[in-house]
Each structure stands twice: as C-alpha cells, then as structure tokens.
Structure 1
C-alpha cells in the first residue's frame, strides 16, 4: 500500500503531466500573478504552488476572472468575466438546490417579475426590484419593464395602465403607471397624495394631515418688557439662608 507521501507525489506528477499536455496554457510559475486561465475551460484555472502548476476549479456556477477579482476565489459570474468567451465553455455540470440552478449565481423568480434569487453556496436569498423595475434575466439585474421580455405588464398597473397607485401608507409618494409600467413619483412640496382622487392635493386629506412645525417657547419677559441689565447677581436673604441650610445638611 502506498503511503500518503507517495500518493501526494503521484497526484503532483499527474497534475504536472496534465498541464504539460496543454501546450497553450501559460506556465503560472513564470508569471507575476502566479495564476493563469485554462485554455479550454473557463471554470478552471492554473496556479503556481511550491513551484508546481496545479489546476483548480471555480465554485460551481462561477468562472475564472483573474487574481483578486470576482466575487470569491478569483472567480466571478460568467456574464461578467472576460475569460469565458467562445470557444471556452464551463466543463463542470450545474449543482442545483431550491431556487438555484447552480450553487452560485443570480436567477429569476419562479412566479414574480419583480423578484429574483441570489444564490451563494446553494443558499437562495430573495431580492426585490424597486422603483417600478422588473428582473431582467438577460442582464441578471433589475431593469425598466420595456426591456424585460415576458413581463410587459406590471401587477401594480393591472386596474389602470395609465393611472396612479398609492404607495403603502406614504403621504407624498405614489406609483404613476405609464402604459402598464409603474414609476415612483413624489408630490410637490406642501402637497400630499389623496387615496380617493389618486392625485396630489392640498392637505389635509382623510389619511394625511397638514405638516406642522412646533413654534419655539416664548421667552420670559420682565414687567416692563425690557431686560434689566443692572439687576444684582447676589442672592437674596432667603436664598442665602437656604444655601446655608443645604451646606449644613451635607
């Protein structure tokens, strides 16, 4: 039976033989970064380790982006990397979990056009597009509805494609539908959004009161309404006795 030391030597020799067979791969040990991309597969790369060229895999769903680049371990999403262009391909098959086609990536929601999933090591986190935007599967980000195929109408504008829609309990912001696409709007200063007329009006309304500011407390004035700049700062006889009693207690 081979010892652990012998197995390590065999693995290094096999890795070196694999690297030697790829004549187009640059030797990472001869580069400044000590890391180079694979010549065929964009989800693999070569790194110089103790003078040996070792091949590594990017996390599932990511591709090589360059040393100290990308989202983790020098790897990034395929659509953001310049190293994953034809004829290069991803050789590792996808490993899917709930809501995630790959362990790492950004994926569209199954039932909503305004939500999507960000997957990190197989764990999905639901995200929401705001400001009237929809998730664009091609751009892997939120985008204007007219740029999103398959979601030409937004649920907020189902009743009136060119009307206004209240925004939660907000008194000055609302959704303005334009051809079925909502745009976040704000009422002009000193106006509030009326949920009945669906427009900006002068307050108060049933839900929003007039904005008020609390005036500062009135300053105390003397009987003659003028400050007495000659008033003595010495304590009165009663104040003096009170201070004496307080000092005796202490």
Structure 2
C-alpha cells in the first residue's frame, strides 16, 4: 500500500529583517534561495517571508510561481535549497508533519499532522520501507529484523520437507486457521485465505490449500455466526477479497494440533 497525500498549504507567517526579496512580479510565490521550507509571497509587489509547517517544504515546481503549496519533505525536490528549520518532535513524530516508521515494529508507521500521530499497520507479511515509504514484503526491508519477518516463522531447512515442490512449500499458521506461510528459497511470507475459507494442511509435508471451514477438522467454527454465503456473494460482485477479520470481531477458534499428521515448525518466541 502506498501512502501519499495531496496536501493543502499549511503556512506559518514569518519575518526576517535581515533578508529582503525583490518581487519579479506583482503577485506570486517564490522559493527561498537556500531554505527548502521557506518561500516568498508577493502581493502588490510587496514580499513577505513565509515558512511551511515543521516537516513540510515549499513545492517550487510551478514555473509560473502562482501556486502556494507546502508538501511533505520527501515529496519535494529541494535541489540546492538544503536548509531547514530545526525539527520539532512529538511522540512517534520526528517533525510535526510527515510519515515516520515505528522504532520497534517494522510493519507499523505513523502519519503525523501538526504533531498528532495516526498509527497505520501493513498487511500480514509486509513491512514499512523507509525509503520507498510503502509497505513491501518484510524480507525485502533491511530494517526489519529476521524474527519480525512473517511473525517470527522460520522456514524448514533445505531438504527437511519431503513433500515440498523444489524450494516452495506451504505451512499452516500455528494459531489462526485462515493464515498460512509460503516458503520460497528459504524466505517466509505470510498469506491469508480468502474470507469464508481456511487453510487446510495437505497430505504431504509443505502442502495445503484454502478450503471451506467445514472440510477442515477443528476450524469448522472459525467464522462463528457470520453469514458466509452472503459475504462470498457480495465479494464476488465487488471483485475483491476482504482483509482478515480481527479476533474481537468474530468468534475465532485457534488451529487445532494435528495428531499423527504433518509436522509444522514452531514460531520463534521473541
């Protein structure tokens, strides 16, 4: 998921007696020569120095100089305008405005607006990439610790899963009937079955597929009293699949322990 916003100009009036600017025209908005978060507003040829909100920068891409717009720093090409106001931080916000990664959870990021932080979490198996500023597969994000990838699940060693097709195998989530892991070249990624189905462990090690809950022993009541037929019909018409339902939104049962069936690696405890 990419998180970009069209941002209205948030402006803080500022004056500096040591600086002066001669307006090229009667009206317009012109970038400061060294500061990326400052600009000049010209009205009737009178120049006023303005400063964007902390964490925003002046967007100087309008070659007609008629647009007054401050945007997130990562969206603005500052060029040689390298100076910025000192950061003003609040909890989870390095600056008052911006999108910032969580310091402890690599799948969490914060959208900060005037110092107020809103928490966002990537879908299962994904992590927030600090450079691209989008959610990507967790194993492709350098800052994500190994134990955080796929919730701590570790793929079996090469040759350990006899039923695997080459370097590809599927493994049940130890707690959630709907979730499962795919191992590819030793890298684990977490997936979820379409709503209305759960993951059924296959007859061979490292195999399985999404099936109706009534066909998976121990997961029959995973969706509780939800009307699965109506949900499937509405999603089919909409052409989408819903995100996994949170445990407090339905009566969900943990995945049962299989006796005499294929073994599953245990998750790593942090």
Q: Please report the TM-score for the alignment, with normalisation by the length of structure 2.
A: 0.56
Q: Please report the TM-score for the alignment, with normalisation by the length of structure 1.
A: 0.60
Q: Distance in 1 between matches of 2:24 and 2:101?
A: 37
Q: Which residue of 130, 134, 146 maps to 1:141?
A: 134
Structure 2 match to 1:91? 84
Structure 2 match to 1:40? 34
Q: Distance in 1 between matches of 2:211 and 2:133?
A: 42
Q: Which residue of 195, 203, 207 maps to 2:219?
A: 207
The 5 Å alignment of 1:37-116 reads 37-66=31-60, 74-82=69-77, 84-85=78-79, 87-116=80-109
Structure 2 match to 1:193? 199
How big is the shift at 1:48?
A: 1.5
How big is the shift at 1:46?
A: 1.0
Q: Distance in 1 between matches of 2:61 and 2:143?
A: 38
How big is the shift at 1:74?
A: 0.9
Relative contact order, higher structure (CA 8 A, sep 6+): 2
SS at match of 1:18: coil
1:134-173 deviations in whole A, cap 9, x for unaligned?
11122232223343113253343534326534498565x6
How big is the shift at 1:63?
A: 0.6
Structure 2 match to 1:239? none
How big is the shift at 1:19?
A: 1.4
How big is the shift at 1:111?
A: 0.9
Q: Is the 8 A contact 2:138 2:150 kept in 1?
A: no
SS at match of 1:19: coil
What RMSD, in angstroms, separates the aligned Cα atoms of the two structures? 3.8
Q: 1:40 to 1:200 in 2, by over 3 A?
A: same
Aligned pair count reads 186
Between structures 1 and 2, the one with greater helix share: 1
1:119 and 2:112 matched: yes
Unaligned runs of 5+ in 2: 1-13, 63-67, 156-168, 222-226, 231-270
Q: Distance in 2 between matches of 1:126 and 1:164?
A: 30
Q: Distance in 1 between matches of 2:219 and 2:111?
A: 37
Rg bigger for which structure?
1
Q: Distance in 2 between matches of 1:95 and 1:54?
A: 23
